[in-house]
Amino acid sequence: MRGRELRGELDAFLAETEQDLVAFRRDLHMHPELAFAEYRTTQRIAERLTAAGLAPSVLPRGTGLICDVGSGDGPTVALRADIDALPLQDEKDAPYHSTVEGACHACGHDVHTTVLLGTSLFLAQQAAAGLLPGRVRLIFQPAEELPGGALEVMAQGGLKDVDRIFGLHCDPRVDVGQVGIRPGPITSACDKLVVRVSGPGGHTARPHLTADLVFALAKILTELPAALSRRIDPRSSLSLVWGKVEAGTAANAIPDAGVAAGTVRCLDEDAWHAAPDLIKSLLESVASAYGVEATMDYTRGVPPVVNDEVSTEMLAEAAERALGAGAVVPTQQSLGGEDFAWYLESIPGAFARLGTRSPGGVTYDIHQGTFDVDEKAIAMGVRVMAATALTALWEVGPLDSVTTTAMA
């Protein structure tokens, strides 16, 4: 039975390559590259794929790549990893901490990249042995955090002929060895909002003769999220959270301009559509009450990732096959944004959460300078990704003689 053999094959492959994959991840972690600047990362991946006899095709900008394993008339399943880092400081003591000032793999994309590399090497072996009943497209996507890398991959024909697509994301609230699964929406819409305020400026001794811009900006910062929560159905979980605010240079001078930037997140599509106009009218009313001018730039981000039922079932079945009974756990829809959503607007697929917490250990959070993973998650991820690709190919594949009985 293929399922039983697969587990043994993965055991043998990982016994040989797990340490090497951990070293690969640490190298990426020490050399993080931001969105659309992942040149070194792309080269490292390409070298390893080429050495395994594959033919990677680097995207035109020189960051990110696509590579097919296997061929023939069978179905095509895509596996995607994002490869970019975040513009924040690494705060870890680990020997593999970032060597780049102000850049850090704080979203685990180094792990996603390494998991997909390991999966690629395993699938290359399977293909060489004639065991791949179709084609697997490996997508090493740049610039997830921008976001926009997914659209770049699609513009380059990355989804052409692809029947289904799968992806994983590190989840530091789930123990290593487990995978969080959810059919339907699993992430949320995430937009970016920049508010600029301006006024005449003046001396802090005479706020009544000018417009007290810092005070007005502070009102906007607190009133906008508060008013929104009373104007939108709470079930939509629309939230506006500020991440940056700037105004003024001196303690005794009222500045003439200020800026605040934040994100608007939302579980629900109707509320997502209503958000920009509502925020604009609330902003204008608060600003006019304090005599300042306010403008906003509202940038639409990603829609929610909506997992297709059949693909989610395939991924769950594969994860249980690869990691054993009890490995699949339910997960909730998060308020995080993820540009994998763009792929799922075009073709069916599923996105799942890969547990990265050491059991009983610290619960980290992503997008924090302290974020780290239990590196056993790399081998787990390879098992899940490889099993998912093969399960998806088996279930629609041409090899009728192949059985897909789950492992005991």
Nearer to Zn ion, 124 or 384 (CB): 384
Rounded to a whole number of angstroms, the minimum distance from the CB of residue 366 to Zn ion is: 6
Q: Report residue 291: phi and psi, to 5°.
A: 70, 25
Nearer to Zn ion, 273 or 367 (CB): 367
Rounded to a whole number of angstroms, the minimum distance from the CB of residue 40 to Zn ion is: 19
Nearer to Zn ion, 35 or 323 (CB): 35
Does the footprint of Zn ion cover residue 103 (CB under 5 A)? Answer: no
- CA 302 – CA 371 distance, rounded (Å): 24
The two structure tokens encoding residue 237: 């979980």
| Ordered alpha helix ranges (H), 59-108 | none
Residue with tokens 């040149």: 39
Rounded to a whole number of angstroms, the minimum distance from the CB of residue 367 to Zn ion is: 6
Q: Judge contact between 243 and 193, C-beta under 8 A.
A: no
Residue numbers in the known binding site are 107, 109, 145, 169, 367
Site string for Zn ion, 326-365 (x = CB under 5 A): ----------------------------------------
Q: Give the range of 101-109, 151-159, 259-267, 290-298 binding Zn ion by CB under 5 A.
A: 101-109
Element at 55 (helix H, strand E): none
Spell out a b/e string for 110-120, using b for 16 or more CB atoms within 10 Å of the CB, else e.
bbbbbbbbbbb
Using CB positions, name the residue nearest to Zn ion. Answer: 107
When binding is defined by CB under 5 A, the residue of 107, 116, 267, 352 that contacts Zn ion is 107
**CB atoms near residue 246 (< 10 Å):** 11
Rounded to a whole number of angstroms, the minimum distance from the CB of residue 143 to Zn ion is: 11
Nearer to Zn ion, 237 or 368 (CB): 368
Does the footprint of Zn ion cover residue 37 (CB under 5 A)? Answer: no
Rounded to a whole number of angstroms, the minimum distance from the CB of residue 21 to Zn ion is: 19
Q: Judge contact between 173 and 358, C-beta under 8 A.
A: no
Does the footprint of Zn ion cover residue 28 (CB under 5 A)? Answer: no
Cis-peptide, bond into residue 87, ω within 30° of zero: no
Q: Where are the beta strands (DSSP E) in 303-363?
A: 306-307, 328-330, 349-357
The residues that touch Zn ion, with contacts defined as CB under 5 A, are 107
